[in-house]
Amino acid sequence: MPRIRPGRVRTKNTNRRAPLLLSSMAPEDFNVRPDEMKSIACPDCRTWRRVMGDKVLKIREHCISDKVAEGEKHTLCPGTDQVVEVDIDVRRWQARQNRLLRDAMPQDNRRAAQQFYKPLPAPAAPVSRITAEVTLETTRQSYLAHRKGCIRCVGGRHCTDGGILARRYVLALQEEPARREAREQLERQERRDTRKQAEQWPALRKEQWAKRGGEAVEKANNRCSERTSGSLSEFRGPRLPLAPQDVEAHERRQAELGKRYARRNPATSAA
Protein backbone atom coordinates (compact mmCIF):
# COMPACT_ATOMS: atom_id res chain seq x y z
CA MET A 1 0.00 0.00 0.00
CA PRO A 2 1.57 3.34 -1.01
CA ARG A 3 2.43 5.74 1.80
CA ILE A 4 0.26 8.87 1.90
CA ARG A 5 2.41 11.95 1.96
CA PRO A 6 1.24 14.31 4.72
CA GLY A 7 0.23 17.81 3.74
CA ARG A 8 2.88 20.44 4.46
CA VAL A 9 2.22 24.13 4.98
CA ARG A 10 4.79 26.03 2.93
CA THR A 11 4.02 29.42 4.47
CA LYS A 12 3.43 30.72 7.96
CA ASN A 13 1.16 33.50 6.71
CA THR A 14 -2.54 33.53 7.53
CA ASN A 15 -5.38 35.75 6.40
CA ARG A 16 -5.38 37.27 9.90
CA ARG A 17 -8.93 36.16 10.58
CA ALA A 18 -10.18 34.37 13.66
CA PRO A 19 -9.82 30.58 13.38
CA LEU A 20 -12.70 28.91 11.58
CA LEU A 21 -14.46 26.56 14.01
CA LEU A 22 -15.90 23.40 12.47
CA SER A 23 -18.67 23.44 15.06
CA SER A 24 -20.00 26.63 13.42
CA MET A 25 -20.30 24.98 9.99
CA ALA A 26 -22.78 22.49 8.61
CA PRO A 27 -21.60 18.86 9.03
CA GLU A 28 -21.79 18.27 5.27
CA ASP A 29 -19.45 21.22 4.46
CA PHE A 30 -16.22 19.55 5.61
CA ASN A 31 -14.52 16.16 5.64
CA VAL A 32 -12.19 15.19 8.48
CA ARG A 33 -12.26 11.40 8.20
CA PRO A 34 -9.02 9.92 9.55
CA ASP A 35 -8.36 7.76 6.49
CA GLU A 36 -9.18 10.40 3.87
CA MET A 37 -7.77 13.73 2.73
CA LYS A 38 -9.10 16.62 4.82
CA SER A 39 -11.14 19.10 2.81
CA ILE A 40 -13.60 21.91 3.43
CA ALA A 41 -16.04 24.11 1.53
CA CYS A 42 -14.48 27.59 1.57
CA PRO A 43 -16.91 29.99 3.31
CA ASP A 44 -16.02 32.79 0.84
CA CYS A 45 -16.14 31.14 -2.59
CA ARG A 46 -18.16 28.04 -1.60
CA THR A 47 -15.78 25.66 -3.40
CA TRP A 48 -14.21 22.55 -1.96
CA ARG A 49 -10.56 23.06 -1.04
CA ARG A 50 -7.90 20.96 0.61
CA VAL A 51 -6.92 21.59 4.21
CA MET A 52 -3.13 21.55 4.66
CA GLY A 53 -1.01 20.93 7.75
CA ASP A 54 -0.67 18.48 10.62
CA LYS A 55 -0.84 20.64 13.75
CA VAL A 56 -1.98 23.97 12.30
CA LEU A 57 -4.68 23.43 9.69
CA LYS A 58 -5.12 26.04 6.96
CA ILE A 59 -7.13 26.17 3.77
CA ARG A 60 -4.89 25.79 0.75
CA GLU A 61 -4.18 28.82 -1.45
CA HIS A 62 -6.75 29.08 -4.23
CA CYS A 63 -8.27 31.56 -6.64
CA ILE A 64 -11.80 32.88 -6.74
CA SER A 65 -12.21 31.79 -10.35
CA ASP A 66 -11.39 28.34 -11.69
CA LYS A 67 -10.88 29.67 -15.22
CA VAL A 68 -7.38 31.15 -14.85
CA ALA A 69 -6.10 28.83 -17.57
CA GLU A 70 -8.67 30.33 -19.97
CA GLY A 71 -7.30 33.83 -19.55
CA GLU A 72 -9.14 35.24 -16.58
CA LYS A 73 -7.34 37.24 -13.93
CA HIS A 74 -5.65 35.36 -11.09
CA THR A 75 -7.39 36.67 -7.95
CA LEU A 76 -6.79 35.04 -4.61
CA CYS A 77 -9.81 34.13 -2.56
CA PRO A 78 -10.09 35.89 0.84
CA GLY A 79 -10.43 32.44 2.38
CA THR A 80 -6.85 31.53 1.42
CA ASP A 81 -4.68 30.50 4.39
CA GLN A 82 -7.72 30.49 6.68
CA VAL A 83 -6.87 28.73 9.94
CA VAL A 84 -9.24 25.83 10.70
CA GLU A 85 -9.76 24.55 14.21
CA VAL A 86 -11.22 21.06 14.79
CA ASP A 87 -13.39 21.55 17.89
CA ILE A 88 -15.79 18.64 17.31
CA ASP A 89 -15.88 14.97 18.20
CA VAL A 90 -14.68 13.35 14.97
CA ARG A 91 -16.12 9.92 15.84
CA ARG A 92 -19.57 11.31 16.55
CA TRP A 93 -19.45 13.40 13.37
CA GLN A 94 -18.40 10.34 11.33
CA ALA A 95 -21.23 8.23 12.79
CA ARG A 96 -23.72 10.96 11.90
CA GLN A 97 -22.38 11.21 8.34
CA ASN A 98 -22.67 7.45 7.89
CA ARG A 99 -26.26 7.58 9.11
CA LEU A 100 -27.10 10.42 6.70
CA LEU A 101 -25.52 8.52 3.79
CA ARG A 102 -27.48 5.38 4.69
CA ASP A 103 -30.77 7.31 4.88
CA ALA A 104 -30.11 9.01 1.54
CA MET A 105 -29.38 5.69 -0.14
CA PRO A 106 -32.24 4.06 -2.14
CA GLN A 107 -34.22 1.53 -0.17
CA ASP A 108 -33.18 -1.36 -2.42
CA ASN A 109 -29.46 -0.69 -1.75
CA ARG A 110 -29.67 -0.36 2.03
CA ARG A 111 -28.14 -2.93 4.29
CA ALA A 112 -29.00 -3.60 7.89
CA ALA A 113 -26.56 -2.30 10.47
CA GLN A 114 -26.47 -5.77 12.02
CA GLN A 115 -25.89 -8.68 9.69
CA PHE A 116 -27.90 -11.83 10.30
CA TYR A 117 -26.23 -14.94 8.97
CA LYS A 118 -28.15 -18.07 8.12
CA PRO A 119 -27.16 -20.83 10.53
CA LEU A 120 -25.24 -23.71 9.07
CA PRO A 121 -27.25 -26.93 8.73
CA ALA A 122 -26.50 -29.66 11.23
CA PRO A 123 -24.38 -32.53 9.93
CA ALA A 124 -26.27 -35.55 8.70
CA ALA A 125 -26.68 -38.41 11.11
CA PRO A 126 -24.61 -41.55 10.45
CA VAL A 127 -26.28 -44.35 8.56
CA SER A 128 -26.14 -46.55 11.64
CA ARG A 129 -28.34 -44.08 13.58
CA ILE A 130 -30.99 -43.51 10.93
CA THR A 131 -34.31 -45.07 11.92
CA ALA A 132 -36.09 -46.19 8.76
CA GLU A 133 -37.84 -49.25 7.39
CA VAL A 134 -35.48 -52.18 7.90
CA THR A 135 -35.37 -54.70 5.08
CA LEU A 136 -32.82 -57.24 4.04
CA GLU A 137 -31.77 -55.25 0.96
CA THR A 138 -31.46 -51.88 2.76
CA THR A 139 -29.37 -53.30 5.58
CA ARG A 140 -27.14 -55.12 3.08
CA GLN A 141 -26.56 -51.97 0.98
CA SER A 142 -25.83 -49.85 4.10
CA TYR A 143 -23.34 -52.39 5.42
CA LEU A 144 -21.50 -52.74 2.10
CA ALA A 145 -21.35 -48.95 1.58
CA HIS A 146 -19.85 -48.49 5.04
CA ARG A 147 -17.29 -51.26 4.51
CA LYS A 148 -16.22 -49.69 1.23
CA GLY A 149 -15.56 -46.24 2.71
CA CYS A 150 -14.30 -47.11 6.21
CA ILE A 151 -10.57 -47.69 6.67
CA ARG A 152 -10.96 -49.33 10.09
CA CYS A 153 -13.31 -52.10 8.93
CA VAL A 154 -10.77 -54.64 7.63
CA GLY A 155 -11.33 -58.39 7.48
CA GLY A 156 -13.48 -59.52 10.41
CA ARG A 157 -12.89 -56.32 12.40
CA HIS A 158 -15.43 -53.51 12.52
CA CYS A 159 -15.54 -50.02 13.89
CA THR A 160 -18.43 -48.87 16.12
CA ASP A 161 -20.76 -47.95 13.24
CA GLY A 162 -19.66 -50.96 11.21
CA GLY A 163 -20.49 -53.32 14.09
CA ILE A 164 -23.97 -51.79 14.45
CA LEU A 165 -24.63 -52.18 10.72
CA ALA A 166 -23.32 -55.77 10.73
CA ARG A 167 -25.59 -56.78 13.64
CA ARG A 168 -28.54 -55.11 11.91
CA TYR A 169 -27.81 -57.07 8.73
CA VAL A 170 -27.58 -60.39 10.63
CA LEU A 171 -30.85 -59.66 12.43
CA ALA A 172 -32.56 -58.91 9.09
CA LEU A 173 -31.26 -62.26 7.75
CA GLN A 174 -32.77 -64.10 10.71
CA GLU A 175 -36.14 -62.34 10.42
CA GLU A 176 -36.40 -62.67 6.64
CA PRO A 177 -38.22 -66.13 6.60
CA ALA A 178 -40.93 -64.88 8.99
CA ARG A 179 -41.28 -61.65 7.03
CA ARG A 180 -41.57 -63.58 3.75
CA GLU A 181 -44.27 -65.85 5.24
CA ALA A 182 -46.27 -62.83 6.48
CA ARG A 183 -46.00 -61.20 3.06
CA GLU A 184 -47.24 -64.34 1.28
CA GLN A 185 -50.15 -64.66 3.73
CA LEU A 186 -51.17 -61.08 3.08
CA GLU A 187 -51.10 -61.65 -0.68
CA ARG A 188 -53.27 -64.78 -0.32
CA GLN A 189 -55.79 -62.81 1.76
CA GLU A 190 -55.94 -60.08 -0.88
CA ARG A 191 -56.58 -62.66 -3.62
CA ARG A 192 -59.42 -64.23 -1.57
CA ASP A 193 -61.04 -60.81 -1.03
CA THR A 194 -60.84 -60.03 -4.74
CA ARG A 195 -62.37 -63.39 -5.71
CA LYS A 196 -65.17 -63.00 -3.13
CA GLN A 197 -66.02 -59.51 -4.39
CA ALA A 198 -66.16 -60.78 -7.99
CA GLU A 199 -68.61 -63.56 -6.96
CA GLN A 200 -70.87 -61.13 -5.10
CA TRP A 201 -70.92 -58.52 -7.86
CA PRO A 202 -73.83 -59.99 -9.99
CA ALA A 203 -76.11 -60.29 -6.93
CA LEU A 204 -75.24 -56.75 -5.83
CA ARG A 205 -75.91 -55.42 -9.30
CA LYS A 206 -79.28 -57.23 -9.45
CA GLU A 207 -80.23 -55.69 -6.08
CA GLN A 208 -79.41 -52.22 -7.35
CA TRP A 209 -81.57 -52.72 -10.44
CA ALA A 210 -84.44 -53.96 -8.28
CA LYS A 211 -84.15 -50.94 -6.00
CA ARG A 212 -84.04 -48.35 -8.77
CA GLY A 213 -86.24 -50.18 -11.30
CA GLY A 214 -89.46 -52.17 -11.38
CA GLU A 215 -93.07 -51.55 -12.45
CA ALA A 216 -93.36 -48.14 -10.69
CA VAL A 217 -90.37 -46.72 -12.55
CA GLU A 218 -91.57 -48.22 -15.84
CA LYS A 219 -95.06 -46.66 -15.45
CA ALA A 220 -93.53 -43.26 -14.66
CA ASN A 221 -91.37 -43.47 -17.78
CA ASN A 222 -94.40 -44.44 -19.91
CA ARG A 223 -96.33 -41.38 -18.69
CA CYS A 224 -93.72 -39.04 -20.14
CA SER A 225 -95.09 -37.54 -23.36
CA GLU A 226 -94.63 -34.37 -25.34
CA ARG A 227 -96.80 -31.42 -24.25
CA THR A 228 -98.64 -29.24 -26.68
CA SER A 229 -97.84 -25.52 -26.74
CA GLY A 230 -100.02 -23.44 -24.39
CA SER A 231 -100.90 -26.30 -22.05
CA LEU A 232 -100.27 -25.96 -18.33
CA SER A 233 -98.18 -28.42 -16.40
CA GLU A 234 -99.43 -30.03 -13.20
CA PHE A 235 -96.12 -29.01 -11.62
CA ARG A 236 -96.67 -25.26 -12.20
CA GLY A 237 -96.00 -22.88 -9.33
CA PRO A 238 -98.21 -20.22 -7.73
CA ARG A 239 -99.90 -17.66 -9.98
CA LEU A 240 -97.88 -14.44 -10.42
CA PRO A 241 -99.72 -11.12 -9.90
CA LEU A 242 -100.21 -9.09 -13.08
CA ALA A 243 -101.46 -5.85 -11.41
CA PRO A 244 -100.10 -3.94 -8.37
CA GLN A 245 -101.78 -4.60 -5.08
CA ASP A 246 -102.00 -0.85 -4.14
CA VAL A 247 -102.87 1.03 -7.33
CA GLU A 248 -102.72 4.55 -5.77
CA ALA A 249 -99.29 4.02 -4.23
CA HIS A 250 -98.05 2.58 -7.53
CA GLU A 251 -99.27 5.66 -9.46
CA ARG A 252 -97.64 8.09 -6.96
CA ARG A 253 -94.36 6.24 -7.25
CA GLN A 254 -94.48 6.34 -11.05
CA ALA A 255 -95.23 10.10 -11.00
CA GLU A 256 -92.29 10.76 -8.66
CA LEU A 257 -89.93 8.78 -10.89
CA GLY A 258 -91.15 10.73 -13.92
CA LYS A 259 -90.39 14.08 -12.22
CA ARG A 260 -86.87 12.92 -11.28
CA TYR A 261 -86.22 11.82 -14.85
CA ALA A 262 -87.43 15.19 -16.19
CA ARG A 263 -85.10 17.12 -13.86
CA ARG A 264 -82.08 15.03 -14.87
CA ASN A 265 -82.80 15.09 -18.63
CA PRO A 266 -84.55 18.38 -19.45
CA ALA A 267 -83.69 18.19 -23.18
CA THR A 268 -85.28 14.75 -23.58
CA SER A 269 -88.40 15.78 -21.64
CA ALA A 270 -88.89 18.94 -23.76
CA ALA A 271 -88.61 16.91 -26.94
State how far the Cα of 268 lies from the Cα of 271, in Å rounded to an integer: 5
- When pLDDT is averaged across residues 29-38 and rounded to a whole number, the result is 86
pLDDT at 189: 92
pLDDT top residue among 229 and 59? 59
What is the C-alpha to C-alpha distance for residues 183 and 177, in angstroms, rounded to an integer? 10
pLDDT of residue 69: 61
Residue 84 has pLDDT above 70, yes or no: yes
What are 230-251's pLDDT values in tens digits?
A: 666 655 656 667 788 888 999 9
Name which residue leads in pLDDT, 114 or 7: 114
pLDDT band at 226 (very low <50, low <70, confident <90, very high): low
Q: What is the mean pLDDT of residues 84-111?
A: 79
Q: Read off the pLDDT of each residue in 222-233 and give the average, rounded to a whole number.
A: 66
CA distances from 169 to 7, 125, 174, 178, 251 (A): 80, 19, 9, 15, 97
Distance CA 93, CA 33 (A): 9
- Greater model confidence, 100 or 256: 256
Binning pLDDT at 50, 70 and 90, where does residue 171 land? confident
Mean of all residue pLDDT scores within the chain: 79
Residue 110 confidence class, pLDDT cut points 50, 70, 90: low
Q: Of 80, 86, 87, nearest to 9 (Cα)? A: 80
